[in-house]
């Protein structure tokens, strides 16, 4: 009956309630031609159930549904239905006659309504809206009115004859509720009941296609600026504003007085902007939706013919009309693909620089994955207030009170004292050369403009910066940040699903860079930073942090011990730092009073404003905690803040990278209870430290992992082990812990990490497949190297000990990349010669090269000290003899008793360095040996392929590579 009705009227959507389907029913018998059937069945009891038929050319995704188990609450399923640019929210509802009021459904629907302009709710509510005195009907209409939802009609849709007296009862319980009733046409209720006394309701919903979005924005044409004349114009403009002669006669104001400094900063900034307005004035630009330049008029005419054929098919539903439509659709698709590929290839071929090259790739969606702007879901003021609330976890610091209270304190870490030193124009020049940002801060001066004007600014900025240090004041104008909001998820539901990107004035970062260099030099000279902190320090990285941890675990296994690891998670640590506590810690490391005043000024009275779509800013909001996001100095201040964390540990070692903190300890398996007790004690100490420091630990994201040899861990499985407790929460032992982007398992088996790498690589390669015909081989190679193989190059020294099977799986990923680059390798052909023709190392030797280079950097620089200490240089041990027939190696190593330490970074790196056929001296940087190491490993790869060809009787060089690849006769 439903099929006959659907053949009579061409429907796009058909909603059905009371399907009576069960989970084990064969739903194929209920399918309709040219429709996809979506259903939400009732479990545990017969009856009920919902169904939605949707034409097969629509895209449908179920957003949310009620619990499938039988209950007294209404059943519902909500779908997003889209085709082209149209997107409609469809909800299907069934409420039994005696069921509760649909509160849950309406609450769920209200959360989704702001994201959809077109909303249709269809279902059997068993609420008679035709009865004006029905309390449920009155309540329903009141509830949906604030959301601008409307019941389409109160025409009777259900008729039933009572068996008691034979009377006919009519009601309107089958409802259609929409958000835009003016789009509904031809609403009709069938003359006769369709099933069980219910009539069939049909209507047309004429949705409007969204118009292309346009917005306006003020922009400057930076390309029109002449690098030769612009600095002169800037110098003249600034000199006209600053009276240098009178300025030189004025005595410096007292410490803390910022009026003169702020005036000087304003004059310098205004001078730059005035010169900029002459050569590149602000112009109002209209930004329109991107057009498709490869779509010609001929293609548009063909697309119009395709659309006409589709409408003809809808009118008569004949097989010939359908065949013609499909033929035209296929032709249009092929021609569009060809035109698009040709356009992209032409754009890439004409790219004049790497920046233009990657800009083109981002423009066609290859090198970036865009998400909708959060401003589509929230107002800029809402976001600004939320971001400010996060960064206001503590009260504002009182500068005078803080200085007074710190003056009498005496618990310093040493006798050294830090004070800011005088900076020269040359120092400013070196700092400005490090400006790499492409954004523009709240002052309107971008990094590109700053670089163009730099020759005219060195002396003026040196004067500003020195005055800032002398007064202990950070300029007020540089404390304002403009915030660009980005979405973390495709459809953010709350402001916490968004990410703020803070843009500070670029000139302020130059001052921060100078302050950072002086403070970092002081901390390094006096060895004040925690040696296990691997963040924000040169020669340190996530890889070195993980290597320190994994090598410690392997050392424990060598001693027949197990390791207990606790990985802590801090919630919004960078945003919630208490400024008063930070200043106290800066005092303890030796900052003098003037330096403390400068840091207080730097942190206090900061404001943020969210940037709107047209480039304007919201009203600013004040922040009172945390370090400034996007700053140069902020990360180092955070490192100082958590620098004393390790002092609370009594039994455990620790690894820290930024706010990622792990503690771990080793002991023998028969002392496991004592080990857990010790680690538990230190975990509580970390929690207490976090509480005193104003940081919030997140126990639900804190993880615990027990590591060791398989034999010991198997033995401990049969033993009941107490859990680690953090702030009263009991933490379960995990099978896999992801820390710093690497998945650790109890036995340091890299199966989970290997699968993760393969998944990410395949996803990246999959995203490139649409453009493979538009890209040349060299472009495909560049893209694969940057977007796919980069996943193999993240911390490769950590998981270098993968098994042969895991290495083979990783090699197959690289082989897939080789096939993508060439695009024409026969399916049964070996990929190795093609990989060698590209100049790529195998994945194993790719890791070996990075291990060797990292080891050379550590040996030459001496840090991290924990990774440098185990290496043994032959130069330090002249008593050790080596063969005079071979080059004396840089390091030596002993064969270890177990396989644990043979997989350690020290042992692996020493083995690789000892096999290199050339002499290495630490007087040269590691980068100078990169080409030599590559050539050696590449030659080994070629030798392996030659040997395999001889053994398996394979073709050494395919005919297509004869002029590209060559081998030395063996």
Are residues 382 and 359 located together in one domain of the fold?
no
pLDDT at 249: 42
Looking at residue 416, what is its pLDDT? 86
Contact assessment for residue 128 and residue 172, using Cβ atoms and an 8 Å cutoff: yes
**Whether residue 386 is found in the same domain as residue 356:** no
Same domain as 435, residue 497: yes
Q: What angle do CA 680, 682, 688 make, to 5 degrees?
A: 105
Same domain? 879 vs 927 = yes
Closest CA to 777 of 945, 962, 961: 961
pLDDT value, residue 170: 84
Residue 540 within a domain: no
Tell me, yes or no, whether 49 lies in a domain: yes
Is residue 665 included in any domain, yes or no? yes
Q: Is 573 helix (H, G, I), strand (E, B) or coil?
A: coil
- The CATH number that applies at residue 152 is 3.60.10.10
Rounded CA-CA distance 956/830 in Å is 10
Regions of the chain with pLDDT less than 50: 245-246, 249-250
Q: Are 697 and 619 part of one and the same domain?
A: no
Burial letters 770-806, b for 16+ CB under 10 A, else e = ebeebbeeebbbbbbeebbbebbeebbbbbbbbeeeb
Q: What is the pLDDT of residues 661-700, one digit of tens each?
A: 999 999 999 999 999 999 999 999 999 999 999 999 999 8
Q: At 170, give phi and psi (nearest 5°).
A: -115, 145
Task: Specify the pLDDT at position 883.
Answer: 66
The last residue of one of the domains, among 711, 741, 771, is: 741
Q: Degrees (nearest 5) of the Cα angle 913, 914, 916?
A: 70
CA distance linking residue 401 with residue 399, whole number of Å: 6
pLDDT of residue 246: 46
Where do runs of H (alpha helix) occur along 36-117? Answer: 103-112
* Cα 782 to Cα 578: distance, rounded to the nearest angstrom: 45
B/e letters for 106-118, b = 16+ CB within 10 Å, e = fewer, are bebbeebeebebb
Rg (CA), the chain: 35
Both tokens of 832, joined, read 């190795």
173 neighbors 127 (Cβ within 8 angstroms): yes
Tell me the C-alpha distance between 483 and 653, whole Å. 39
Reported residue count of the chain is 970
Contact 40, 14 (CB under 8 A): no
User: Which pLDDT value is given to residue 103?
Assistant: 81
Inside any domain, residue 36? yes
DSSP for 887-898 reads PPPSEE-PPPSS
The DSSP call for residue 821 is H
Same domain, 306 and 404: no
Q: H or E stretch including 907?
A: helix 905-914
* Region of residue 327 (phi > 0: left; psi between -120 and 50: alpha; otherwise: beta): alpha
pTM: 0.76
Q: Which two tokens stand for residue 165?
A: 């007296």
Q: Are 148 and 163 in contact (CB under 8 A)?
A: no
Query: With contact defined as beta carbons under 8 Å apart, do 157 and 198 qualify?
Result: yes
Separation between Cα atoms, residue 912 and residue 903, nearest integer Å: 12
Say if residue 53 is in the same domain as residue 126. Answer: yes
Domain boundary residue among 776, 795, 824? 824
17: which 2 tokens?
A: 């309630």
| Claim to verify: residue 737 and residue 802 sit in the same structural domain | no
Structure-block tokens of residue 764: 């990246």
Q: Max Cα separation, the chain?
A: 116
**Can you tell me the distance from the alpha carbon of 420 to that of 43, in angstroms, rounded to the nearest whole number?**
72
Q: Residue 581: inside a domain, yes or no?
A: no
Domain match, 873 and 904 both: yes
Q: Does some domain include residue 547?
A: no
DSSP symbols for 19-34: ----TTS-GGGG--TT
Number of structural domains in the chain:
6
Domain boundary pick from 168, 187, 205: 205
Residue 452 forms part of a structural domain:
yes
Q: Can you give the pLDDT at residue 97? A: 84
Q: 77 and 18 share a domain?
A: yes
**What's the pLDDT score for residue 144?**
87
pLDDT at 370: 60
Q: Which domain holds residue 788?
A: 751-824
- Which of 357, 409, 337 lies closest to 586, judged by CA? 409
69: which DSSP letter? B
714 shares its domain with 819: no
Distance CA 921, CA 913 (A): 12
Same domain? 498 vs 617: yes
The whole-angstrom separation of Cα 712 and Cα 708 is 7
Phi, psi of 961 (to 5 degrees): -110, 10
**Is the Cβ–Cβ distance between 590 and 414 less than 8 Å?**
yes
Calculate helix-pair angle for 593-603, 399-407, nearest 10 degrees. 150
CA–CA–CA angle 189, 194, 198 (5° rounding): 70
Is residue 55 included in any domain, yes or no?
yes
Distance of CA 286 to the CA centre of its chain: 30
């Amino acid at each position: 009956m439903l099929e006959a009705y659907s053949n009579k009227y061409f429907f796009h959507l058909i909603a059905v309630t009371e399907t009576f389907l069960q989970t084990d029913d064969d739903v194929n018998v209920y399918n309709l031609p040219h429709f996809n059937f979506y259903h939400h069945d009732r479990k545990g009891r017969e009856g009920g159930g919902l169904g939605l038929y949707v034409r097969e050319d629509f895209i449908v995704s179920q957003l949310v549904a009620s619990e499938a188990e039988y209950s007294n609450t209404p059943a519902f399923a909500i779908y997003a239905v889209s085709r082209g640019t149209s997107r409609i929210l469809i909800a299907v509802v069934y409420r039994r006659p005696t069921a509760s009021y649909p509160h849950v459904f309406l609450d769920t629907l209200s959360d989704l309504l702001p994201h959809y302009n077109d909303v249709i709710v269809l279902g059997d509510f068993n609420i008679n809206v035709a009865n004006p005195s029905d309390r449920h009907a009155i309540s329903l209409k009141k509830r949906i009115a604030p959301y601008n939802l409307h019941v389409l009609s109160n025409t009777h849709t259900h008729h039933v004859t009572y068996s008691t007296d034979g009377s006919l009862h009519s009601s309107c319980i089958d409802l259609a509720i929409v958000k835009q009733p003016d789009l509904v046409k031809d609403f009709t209720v069938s003359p006769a009941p369709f099933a069980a006394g219910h009539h069939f309701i049909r209507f047309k919903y004429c949705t409007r296609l969204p118009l292309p979005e346009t917005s306006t924005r003020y922009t400057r044409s930076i390309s029109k600026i002449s690098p030769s004349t612009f600095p002169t114009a800037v110098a003249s403009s600034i000199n006209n504003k600053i009276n240098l002669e009178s300025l030189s006669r004025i005595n410096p104001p007292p410490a803390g007085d910022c009026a003169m400094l702020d005036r000087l900063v304003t004059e310098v900034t205004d001078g730059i902007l005035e010169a900029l307005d002459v050569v590149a004035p602000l112009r109002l630009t209209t930004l329109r939706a991107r057009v498709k330049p490869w779509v010609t008029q001929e293609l548009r005419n063909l697309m119009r013919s395709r659309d006409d054929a589709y409408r003809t098919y809808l009118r008569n539903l004949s097989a010939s009309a359908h065949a013609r439509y499909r033929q035209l659709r296929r032709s249009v698709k092929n021609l569009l693909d060809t035109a698009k590929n040709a356009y992209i290839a032409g754009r890439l071929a004409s790219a004049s620089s790497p920046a233009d090259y990657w800009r083109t790739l981002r423009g066609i969606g290859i090198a970036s994955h865009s998400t909708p702007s959060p401003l589509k879901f929230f107002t800029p003021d809402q976001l600004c207030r939320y971001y400010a609330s996060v960064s206001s976890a503590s009260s504002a610091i009182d500068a005078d009170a803080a200085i007074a209270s710190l003056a009498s304190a005496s618990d310093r870490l040493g006798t050294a004292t830090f004070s800011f030193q005088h900076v020269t124009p040359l120092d400013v020049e070196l700092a400005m050369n490090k400006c790499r940002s492409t954004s523009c801060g709240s002052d309107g001066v971008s990094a590109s403009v700053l670089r163009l004007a730099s020759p005219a600014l060195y002396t003026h900025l040196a004067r500003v910066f020195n005055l800032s240090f002398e007064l202990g004041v950070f300029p007020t104008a540089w404390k304002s940040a403009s915030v660009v909001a980005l979405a973390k998820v495709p459809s953010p539901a709350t402001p916490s699903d968004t990410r703020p990107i803070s843009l500070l004035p670029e000139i302020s970062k130059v001052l921060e860079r100078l302050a950072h260099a002086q403070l970092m030099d002081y901390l390094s000279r006096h060895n004040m930073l925690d040696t296990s902190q691997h963040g924000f320090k040169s020669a340190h990285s996530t890889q070195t942090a993980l290597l320190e941890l994994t090598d410690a675990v392997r050392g424990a296994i060598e001693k027949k011990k197990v390791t207990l690891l606790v990985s802590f998670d801090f919630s919004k640590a960078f945003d919630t730092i208490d400024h008063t506590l930070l200043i106290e810690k800066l005092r303890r490391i030796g900052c003098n009073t003037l330096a403390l005043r400068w840091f207080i000024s730097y942190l206090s009275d900061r404001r943020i404003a969210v940037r709107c779509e047209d480039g304007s800013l919201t009203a600013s909001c004040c922040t009172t905690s945390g370090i400034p996001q996007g700053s140069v100095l902020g990360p180092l201040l955070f490192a100082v803040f958590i620098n004393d964390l390790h002092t609370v540990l009594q039994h455990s070692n620790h690894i820290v990278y930024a706010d990622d903190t792990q503690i771990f300890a080793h002991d023998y398996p028969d002392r496991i209870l004592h080990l857990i007790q010790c680690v538990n004690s230190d975990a509580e100490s970390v929690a207490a430290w976090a509480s005193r420091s104003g940081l919030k630990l997140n126990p639900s994201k804190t993880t615990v992992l027990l590591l060791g040899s398989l034999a010991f861990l198997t033995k401990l499985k049969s033993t009941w082990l107490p859990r680690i407790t953090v702030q009263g929460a009991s933490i379960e032992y995990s099978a896999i812990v992801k820390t710093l982007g690497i998945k650790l398992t109890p036995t340091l088996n890299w199966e989970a990490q290997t699968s993760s790498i393969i998944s990410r690589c395949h996803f990246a390669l999959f995203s490139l497949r649409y453009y493979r015909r538009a890209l040349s081989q060299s472009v495909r190679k560049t893209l694969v190297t940057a977007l796919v193989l980069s996943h193999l190059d993240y911390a490769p020294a950590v998981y270098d000990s993968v098994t042969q099977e895991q290495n083979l799986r990783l090699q197959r990923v690289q082989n897939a990349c080789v096939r993508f680059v060439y695009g024409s390798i026969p399916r049964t052909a070996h990929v190795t010669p093609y990989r060698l023709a590209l100049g790529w190392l195998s994945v194993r030797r790719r890791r070996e090269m990075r291990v060797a280079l990292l080891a050379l950097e550590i040996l030459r620089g001496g840090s991290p000290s924990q990774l440098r200490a185990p290496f043994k240089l032959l130069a330090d041990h002249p008593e050790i003899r080596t063969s005079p027939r071979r080059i004396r190696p840089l390091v030596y190593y002993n064969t270890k008793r177990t396989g644990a330490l043979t997989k350690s970074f020290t042992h692996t790196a020493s083995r690789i360095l000892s096999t290199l056929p050339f002499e290495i001296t630490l007087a040269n940087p590691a980068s100078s040996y990169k080409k030599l190491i590559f050539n050696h490993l590449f030659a080994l790869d070629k030798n392996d392929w030659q040997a395999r060809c001889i053994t398996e009787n394979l073709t050494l060089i395919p005919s297509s590579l004869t002029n590209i690849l060559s081998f030395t006769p063996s």
